[in-house]
């Protein structure tokens, strides 16, 4: 496996009237092709900031962010960003939501992308709902629509910012399985930001543990849990041990929030 | 999971169970009861008014009476003059309403687009909003003459500032994450506005429409009070000057009806939109 994304000594400061807030401090990590990496860290430590930097929504203050070995560009269409909560547009139908990015970037192969959208909707049991409005769908279905909306542009790197936090526990387990399956099926690289250690363990092959703000990497844990799906991995014998390890790394600092 | 989406609809056909049947029956009865009470209240008020006037408990010279209002209405219709007055007031109101609503929204779009401009103009908008517009009446008449245009300007002035403020508020209160989402799809500012900010503000726009119906009537009648030679506001002022209280009352009743009709038209738009 080789590197798709790498952060090298990245620093980032938010400028506010009152002060300069350092969100990231000498942050370095690598993400390999087709890897599923999770980022966990105390709340407010800078996780969303990391994703925003990758997506080009923010500009780093110093350091290097490389995608495929080259400095990351604004407007890179290889990156798909899935936000906390589904952020579906209520006044649009499911179809119009899913094809939003096509409408916006008007790619030359728009027809082909629309075909892909149709295929994905069919594959993941949403095709019957294409002319419904989002409010007719359950939380889990909405989340899948949001994921398909992100996949339609065929990004090579998916950024998932706590995509499941708005769901209740039961739905969450199922949607995790669904989303994981879709991402693996479509052979994508993904970075998942989450508060939930067990979610990180069950979905990824690597967990990056961050310190509290300013975020720097405290620990990187490579995982090899037995199990095909996130749900089955939760049953793996060393799951609890790993959970404790990550929990301890996360909390063994005084200033956690 | 493969089911057609079912829209929640109030069933008007088959009740599901006897309890449901009972529930529907009760709903229907309640509705009829409310309607009957509403009609009775109106009939009672009109009847009492008529009675008090006929028995001279109150002086019809000052309070008129339903039958006198009706007679006045019939004579106004017979002479044909009423349509001119109704037409003029209605025209002024609708023109004022449309210009204020769309103009105000347009200004809000401009201010959303250019936040610096918004910051520069903010204190002036606040002052304009708190200013009692009627104070500008004499100036308006000086500038626009004493005809229809002055009245329309009055109507616009009263309506437009609040329209701008409400719409700008709606534009600015759009979920920041949704804007980020569009940015992550590399949307430009125009696309962000067209695909997100504007449709996101439709609910607010409809409530602005509703408020503006009321406001534009206030503006028009106020304008007609200031200076006019025709219109319902003119009839009311004229009637009171020559102590023809019947004319005043008839015009007021007509005004009520027209305002209610226009409000209902907006409600209809809302219904069509939410379908
Ligand atoms: N626009 C901003 N201006 C100033 N400070 C900001 C801004 N956005 C975030 N911050 C600060 O930067 C720090 C990191 O924010 P970020 O949103 O990346 O944290 P997070 O780890 O995603 O938090 P959470 O777990 O709550 O989602 C926070 O302390 C926050 O207060
Ligand atoms: Mg966050």
Name residues contacting ligand 1 (CB within 6 A). A 14, 16, 21, 23, 41, 43-49, 213
Supply the residue whose CA is at minimum distance from atom 30 of ligand 1. A44
Q: Which long-range contacts (CB under 8 A, 24 or more apart) does B69-72 make?
A: B69/B246, B69/B249, B69/B250, B69/B253, B71/B246, B72/B246, B72/B247, B72/B249, B72/B250
Q: Which residues, 6 or more positions from B260, have their beta carbon under 8 angstroms from its beta carbon?
A: none
Q: Which whole number is the average pLDDT over B21-35?
A: 92
- What would the pLDDT profile of A136-177 be if each residue is shown by its tens digit? 998 888 988 998 898 888 888 889 998 887 777 887 888 788
Mean pLDDT lowest among A151-155, A238-242, B144-148: A238-242
Partners of A125 on chain B (C-beta within 8 Å) are 1-2
* Cross-chain CB nearest to A91 (options B175, B180, B199): B199
Do the chains contact at B185 and A100, CB–CB below 8 Å? Answer: yes
- What would the pLDDT profile of B152-185 be if each residue is shown by its tens digit? 999 999 999 999 999 999 999 999 999 999 998 9
CA–CA distances in Å: residue B40 to residues A215, B37, B55, B256, B260 = 71, 5, 22, 19, 19
CATH 3.40.50.300 fits A25-78+157-257, yes or no: yes
Q: CA-to-CA distance for A203 and B64, rounded, in angstroms?
A: 80
Strand A36-40 to A189-194 pairing = parallel
Supply the residue whose CA is at minimum distance from atom 5 of ligand 1. A14
pLDDT class for A254, splitting at 50, 70, 90? Answer: very low
Domain ranges of chain A: 25-78+157-257, 88-154
Q: Phi and psi for A93 in degrees, rounded to 5?
A: -75, 170
DSSP tag of B195: I
- What would the pLDDT profile of A92-139 be if each residue is shown by its tens digit? 999 999 999 999 988 888 899 999 899 889 887 889 999 999 999 988
Q: Phi and psi for A19 in degrees, rounded to 5?
A: -160, 175
Calculate how far, in angstroms, residue A48's C-alpha sits from the geometric centre of ligand 2: 4
- Average pLDDT of chain A, as a whole number: 86
All structural domains of chain B: 71-274 (1.10.3720.10)
Provide the shortest C-alpha distance from residue A93 to chain B (in Å).
12
Q: Phi and psi for A58 in degrees, rounded to 5?
A: -130, 160
Q: CA-to-CA distance for B131 and B135, rounded, in angstroms?
A: 8
Burial class (CB in 10 A: 0-12, 13-18, 19+), B94: middle
pLDDT at A63 over 90: no
In B4-122, DSSP assigns E strands to: none
DSSP letters for A68-111: TTEE--TT-TTEEEE-SS----TTS-HHHHHTHHHHHH--TTHH
Mutate to test the interface with A, among B1, B181, B182, B193 (most CBs of A within 10 A): B181
Q: Which residues, 6 or more positions from B216, have their beta carbon under 8 angstroms from its beta carbon?
A: B93, B94, B96, B97, B100, B155, B158, B159
| ipTM for this prediction | 0.84
The closest of B154, B133, B135 to B145, measured between CA atoms, is B154
pLDDT class for A236, splitting at 50, 70, 90? Answer: confident
Q: Phi and psi for A168 in degrees, rounded to 5?
A: -75, 165
Contact A206, A35 (CB under 8 A): yes
End-to-end CA distance of chain B: 25
What tokens does A20 get? 């300069």
End-to-end CA distance of chain A: 36
């Amino acid at each position: 496996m080789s590197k798709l994304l790498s952060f090298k000594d990245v620093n980032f400061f938010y400028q506010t009237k009152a002060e300069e807030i350092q969100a990231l401090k000498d942050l370095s990590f690598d993400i390999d092709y087709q890897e599923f990496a999770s980022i966990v860290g105390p709340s407010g430590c800078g996780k969303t900031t990391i994703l925003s930097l990758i997506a080009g929504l923010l500009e780093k203050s110093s350091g290097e962010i490389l995608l495929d070995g080259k400095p990351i560009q604004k407007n890179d269409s290889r990156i798909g960003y899935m936000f906390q909560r589904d952020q579906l547009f209520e006044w649009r139908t499911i179809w119009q939501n899913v094809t939003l990015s096509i409408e916006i970037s008007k790619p030359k192969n728009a027809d082909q992308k629309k075909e892909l959208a149709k295929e994905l909707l069919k594959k993941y049991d949403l095709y019957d709902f294409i002319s419904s409005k989002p409010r007719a769908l359950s939380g889990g279905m909405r989340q899948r629509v949001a994921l398909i909306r992100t996949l339609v542009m065929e990004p090579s790197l998916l950024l998932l910012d706590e995509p499941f936090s708005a769901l209740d526990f039961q739905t969450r387990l199922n949607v995790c399985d669904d989303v994981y399956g879709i991402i693996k099926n479509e052979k994508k690289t993904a970075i998942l930001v989450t508060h939930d250690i067990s979610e990180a363990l069950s979905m990824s092959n690597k967990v990056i543990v961050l310190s509290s703000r300013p975020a720097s990497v405290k620990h990187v844990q490579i995982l090899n849990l037995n199990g095909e799906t996130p749900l089955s991995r939760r049953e793996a014998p060393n799951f609890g041990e790993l959970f404790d390890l990550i929990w301890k790394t996360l909390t063994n600092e005084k200033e956690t929030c | 999971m493969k089911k057609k989406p079912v829209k929640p609809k109030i069933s008007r056909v088959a009740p599901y169970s006897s309890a449901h049947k009972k529930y529907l029956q009760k709903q229907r009865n309640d509705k009829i009861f409310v309607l009957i009470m509403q009609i009775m209240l109106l009939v009672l008020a009109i009847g009492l008014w008529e009675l008090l006037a006929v028995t001279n408990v109150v002086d019809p010279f000052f309070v008129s009476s339903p039958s006198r209002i009706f007679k006045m209405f019939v004579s106004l219709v017979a002479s044909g003059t009423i349509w001119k007055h109704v037409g003029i007031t209605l025209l002024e109101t609708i023109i004022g309403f449309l210009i204020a609503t769309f103009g105000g929204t347009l200004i809000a779009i401009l201010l959303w687009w250019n936040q610096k401009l918004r910051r520069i103009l903010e204190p002036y908008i606040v002052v304009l909003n708190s200013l009692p517009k009627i104070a500008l009446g004499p100036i308006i008449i000086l500038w626009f003459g004493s005809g229809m245009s002055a009245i329309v300007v009055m109507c616009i002035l009263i309506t437009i500032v609040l329209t701008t403020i409400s719409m700008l508020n709606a534009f600015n209160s759009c979920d920041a994450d949704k804007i980020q989402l569009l940015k992550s799809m590399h949307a430009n500012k125009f696309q962000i506005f067209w695909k997100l900010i504007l449709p996101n503000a439709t609910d607010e726009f409809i409530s602005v429409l509703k408020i503006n119906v009321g406001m534009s009537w206030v503006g028009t009648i106020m304008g007609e009070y200031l200076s006019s030679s025709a219109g319902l506001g003119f009839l009311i002022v004229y009637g009171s000057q020559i102590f023809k209280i019947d004319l005043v009352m008839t015009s007021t009743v007509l005004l009520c009806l027209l305002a209610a009709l226009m409000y209902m038209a907006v409600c209809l738009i809302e219904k069509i939109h939410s379908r």
